[in-house]
Structure 1
Amino acid sequence: MKAHVDKDTCIGCGLCPGIAPDVFEMEDDGKAVAIVDEVPTDSEDAAKEAESSCPTNAIFVEG
């Protein structure tokens, strides 16, 4: 499973790293980024929750 953040859509609210810190973090530009190539199995539910919770639908979790 892979996770991706659309930086053009991200508003930097910080919700995704709060929900899935093993998958997302905030960068110096104030936008979120996925920090893993493959979402760890034990973080898949949290990554999907971050995707559904994103207020701008900037997160995509596939696989």
Structure 2
Amino acid sequence: MSSTSDKVKGVTNEVAGNVKQGVGKVTGDEKLRAEGVVQEKKGEVQKAVGDTKDAVKKATQ
């Protein structure tokens, strides 16, 4: 997977996670809110992987 696709998937997961958290908070659904937190963190990790791939690529050029 390329660094760009990692970053895009990361942002997508962060946004989806934030939406789930918001809906869970408004509806009182703690399970959905917790799922949103996990998905947001997954997105943050995916973005970090993409950033790391970019850094490695730049360092080896």
Give TM-score scaled by structure 2 length: 0.33
Structure whose CA Rg is larger = 2
Q: Higher strand share goes to which structure?
A: 1
- Which has the larger share of helix? 2
Could you state the TM-score of these two structures normalised by the residue count of structure 1? 0.32
